[in-house]
Amino acid sequence: MKNYYIIDFDSTFTQVEALDELARISLENHPDRESIYNEIERYTNLAMEGKLSFREALAGRVKLLNANKSHLDKLVSHLKKKVSTSFSRNREFFKKHSDTAWIVSGGFKEFITPVVTPYHIKTENIYANTFRFDAEGNIIGFDEDNPLSTEGGKVQLLKQLNIEGRLFGIGDGYSDFQLKESGLIEKFFAFTENIQRKSVTEKADFITPSFDEFLYVNDLPRAISYPKNRILCLIVGDVPEIAAHILKRDGFSIRTKETFEEKYVKDVGMLLLGDNIDITDEQLQQADKLKTIGYLGDIKGHINKDICNAKGIVVFDDKKSKKKNSEFIPRRMAEFINNGDTYLSRNFPNLVLPKVKQVTRLLHIHKNVPGIMAQINKVYAQNNINIVAQFLMTRSDIGYAVTDIQGEYDKDLLKQLKQIDNTIKFRILY
């Protein structure tokens, strides 16, 4: 049986509620715009939380819009810039699953179709409402015969379609949960990258903070090998809010603490530390998932660089002015996790890597001893791997090899690379 992916649009595929954004455009010069904005948002939230029927909320919002076709053109341009980050980077998934990735929304085709079709979603797989216009192109209502304009409309629609296959739903609102409640879909994933509604998340099969997480849980092809929301980033000490914001916006799971608490040592993947914060040797030795440390100051005397080298932990610090680099250091940490860059690291070879599409990027951190690259490439050759690009730099006792490969590979390849003598850490980047 085929798997079908039933995806919501507002606050899921896009970061925003489109009708709310349309109101911002159409009412820009209205003297009472703020009070009307608030009323439209109130309707939206009541419907998403299941406290108001969808038909009532939809009618109420459309009536308040005072919009026409020219406003829709502006809205589409705006929405194209507001596609959710994790959906945007997984465009390739939609290309490969163009027959089974569907948009089912209580929104409107007039703005949904031009936003999602560049992602290879077929127009016949977009199910949404449609506006009614008068002779001057003003929006005067919607097609009330469309099941998606009514309460429980998504349930009604899928019953009519009678799809033969396994259905998975992903969305942020009550209407998405209703599909699970009806028994029509196998699993419901509450999407929380943009907004989290307790009335929805507490009933979901899974809470998915990103589309990467959805793909990961379902073992589907994805742009990055491991969802960033699963990487715990611990922020300790006096760290400016902007530094934390940069990493949170990038999708990492953030915890802010005064000290490096013992319960986080074994699970932390990233550490961002204020000046004068000490990390003990014992903590470093136990931090097996730790990939990078950012230090807003000079690490000398605060962090054991030799242990970081031995465990393959990339360190970025600031020996001059923490104020100047409060943004730079978290950005460097993110670029290491996202792309493998080690530029201006305190302890690693300095590499700035090109961003290459449609490849698998493998990071191999090893002791700087003769013959390692020969062993690495022997493994690739024995597995008939097509190498697109390869980068190697060494610094002191550390070797850092980055290999971009193309095409399918057996998972045993990864095991062989990890077992090469003098390997410190191995990671699939994307």
Residues 245-256: pLDDT tens digits?
Answer: 999 999 999 999
Given a cut of 90, is residue 415 above it in pLDDT?
A: yes
Given a cut of 80, is residue 416 above it in pLDDT?
A: yes
> Going by C-beta distance under 8 Å and a sequence separation of 6 or more, which residues neighbour residue 408?
none
**CA pair distance 62, 77, nearest whole angstrom:** 20
Q: What pLDDT sits at residue 153?
A: 93
β-strand pairing of 292-295 with 268-273: parallel
SS3 155: helix
Q: What pLDDT sits at residue 324?
A: 52
Note the pLDDT tens digit of each residue in 76-111.
999 999 999 999 999 999 999 999 999 999 999 999
Q: What pLDDT sits at residue 36?
A: 94
Note the pLDDT tens digit of each residue in 119-143.
999 999 999 999 999 999 999 999 9
Q: What pLDDT sits at residue 358?
A: 86
**Burial environment of residue 255 by CB neighbours within 10 A (0 to 12, 13 to 18, 19 or more):** middle
**CA pair distance 172, 200, nearest whole angstrom:** 7
What phi and psi values does residue 254 have, to the nearest 5 degrees?
A: -100, 135
Q: What pLDDT sits at residue 318?
A: 87
**CA pair distance 165, 186, nearest whole angstrom:** 10
Q: What pLDDT sits at residue 321?
A: 55
Domains in the chain, start-ordered, CATH in brackets?
3-218 (3.40.50.1000), 228-339 (3.40.50.720), 359-429 (3.30.70.260)
Given a cut of 60, is residue 244 above it in pLDDT?
A: yes
Note the pLDDT tens digit of each residue in 49-59.
888 888 899 99
Note the pLDDT tens digit of each residue in 316-368.
998 775 455 689 999 999 999 999 999 999 999 999 999 988 899 999 999 99
Element (H, E) at 85: helix 85-88
Q: Global pTM?
A: 0.83
**CA pair distance 215, 206, nearest whole angstrom:** 12
Note the pLDDT tens digit of each residue in 149-180.
998 999 999 999 999 999 999 999 888 999 99
The mean of the pLDDT values for the chain is 94
